């Protein structure tokens, strides 16, 4: 296992800045997911760690050693790509062993490592097939196996499940998490899929426009997003937002509606100013129209999701999502009141978009 330290990493292509002074400390044996939308710089950051891209400024330090000037082959990393990158003319067995053969590894060691990784990934019956004879999931297992046979203490994954169907993605997520627990390697995993991030990571780095907006445990990111972007990007359905202002007397005001913020835990003293209130769908209660501390709303439609349901309500000129029980969704009245749980809400500065 190895630790990784990224210090003031900057990267530009032409005049376009891709990475803005990235600082991250990744601990030994940690499973870190770099999450963000397309174009946010997450794959570029992974390539900088791997040595496939040179950074303009900054250092990549692995286990206390600055590897910024080293070639990818000299960094002791293993990488799994989105496209599998298997040799089409070689069997799965040869794809697994080829790198070791080129490096002059003894045949007995090669055979031993191939047998070990094939058993670990349950691909023993596939070793004599070529990539064209394998399904997408099977090819991805071979690609992962090829990285593992290098016995590297660090594994990098660049959206490895993007080409798989939904069922196979879910199954492979579980397998990768179990694999991490078995091996204890340091793993860095890039994805735009928040479900992968929330279910697999020890910590998640949420990126936006070349910056790390928040680097924390998945549940912390969900419950206490550090910025307006993180709040809107993480969570399905997206967080409900209301623009208004803090009036200096402990209330959030929007139009002629006033919400008491007494139960909200501010992270810093805040007297007044323009703000955005964010509330997740499960933190809104449906009550009788006109009930105390409620906001009038009109039911637009409901979505039955199996175990629960989503109600979509028109409120304050916006459409709000509210998580409901199945029976409540089936018998929901048209005109209702919505009550926010301010203890679990989020409030952001409109000017800085940071959590207050």
My answer on whether 132 and 249 are in the same domain is no
Q: Report d(CA 226, CA 353) in Å as an integer.
A: 9
- As beta bridge partners, residue 354 has 227
User: Is 203 a residue whose pLDDT tops 70?
Assistant: yes
Among residues 197, 227, 257, the one where a domain terminates is 227
Is position 23 within any domain? yes
Q: What is the CATH number of the domain that holds 218?
A: 3.40.50.300
pLDDT of 146 above 80: yes
In a domain, 356, yes or no: no
DSSP state of 159: S
**Total-model pTM:** 0.90
Q: Do residues 104 and 249 share a domain? A: no
pLDDT at 1 over 70: no
The pair of three-digit structure tokens given for residue 225, joined into one six-digit string: 């997003």
Residue 114 lies in a domain: yes
Position 279 pLDDT exceeds 70: yes
What's the total number of domains in the chain?
2
Identify which of 306, 300, 343 has the alpha carbon closest to the alpha carbon of residue 318: 300
244 with 188, same domain: the answer is: no
State the residue range of the domain holding 253: 237-349
- Please give the average per-residue pLDDT across 59-86, as a whole number: 88
Q: Answer yes or no: do 165 and 21 share one domain.
A: yes
Q: Are residues 113 and 201 in the same domain?
A: yes
* Domain boundary pick from 162, 197, 227: 227
| Phi, psi for residue 175 in degrees, rounded to 5 | -65, -40
Band (351; pLDDT cuts 50, 70, 90): very high
What's the CATH number where 248 sits? 2.40.50.100
Question: Do 79 and 205 fall into the same domain?
Answer: yes
Q: Is pLDDT of 195 > 80?
A: yes
Residue where a domain stops, chosen among 227, 259, 282: 227
In a domain, 355, yes or no: no
32 with 205: CB under 8 angstroms? Answer: yes
């Amino acid at each position: 296992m190895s630790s990784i330290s990224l210090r003031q990493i900057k990267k530009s292509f032409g005049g376009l800045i891709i990475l803005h002074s990235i600082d991250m400390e990744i601990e030994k044996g940690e499973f870190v997911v770099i999450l963000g939308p397309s174009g946010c710089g997450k794959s570029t950051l992974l390539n900088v760690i791997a040595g496939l891209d040179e950074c303009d400024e900054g250092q990549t330090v692995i286990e206390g050693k600055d590897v910024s000037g080293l070639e990818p082959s000299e960094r002791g990393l293993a990488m799994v790509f989105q496209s599998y990158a298997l040799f089409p003319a070689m069997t799965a067995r040869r794809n697994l062993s080829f790198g070791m053969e080129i490096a002059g590894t003894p045949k007995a060691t090669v055979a031993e490592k191939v047998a070990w990784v094939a058993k670990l990934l349950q691909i023993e019956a596939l070793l004599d097939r070529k990539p064209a004879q394998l399904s997408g999931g099977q090819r991805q297992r071979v690609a992962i196996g090829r990285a593992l046979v290098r016995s590297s203490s660090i594994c990098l994954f660049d959206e490895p499940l993007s080409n798989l169907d939904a069922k196979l993605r879910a199954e492979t997520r579980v397998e990768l998490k179990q694999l991490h627990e078995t091996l204890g390697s340091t793993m860095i995993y890039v994805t735009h899929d928040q479900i992968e991030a929330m279910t697999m990571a020890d910590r998640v780095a949420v990126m936006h426009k070349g910056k790390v907006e928040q680097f924390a445990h998945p549940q912390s990111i969900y419950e206490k997003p550090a910025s307006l972007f993180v709040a809107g990007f993480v969570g399905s359905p997206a967080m409900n937002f209301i623009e208004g202002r803090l009036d200096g007397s402990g209330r959030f005001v929007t139009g002629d509606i006033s919400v008491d913020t007494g139960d909200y835990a501010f992270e810093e003293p805040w007297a007044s100013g323009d703000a955005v209130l964010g509330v997740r769908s499960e933190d809104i209660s449906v009550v009788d129209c006109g009930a105390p501390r409620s906001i009038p709303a009109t039911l637009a439609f409901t979505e039955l999701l199996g175990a629960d349901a989503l109600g979509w309500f028109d409120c304050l000129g916006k459409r709000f999502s509210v998580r409901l029980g199945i029976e409540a969704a089936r018998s929901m009245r048209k005109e209702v009141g919505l009550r926010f749980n301010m203890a679990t809400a989020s409030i952001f500065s409109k000017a800085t978009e940071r959590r207050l």
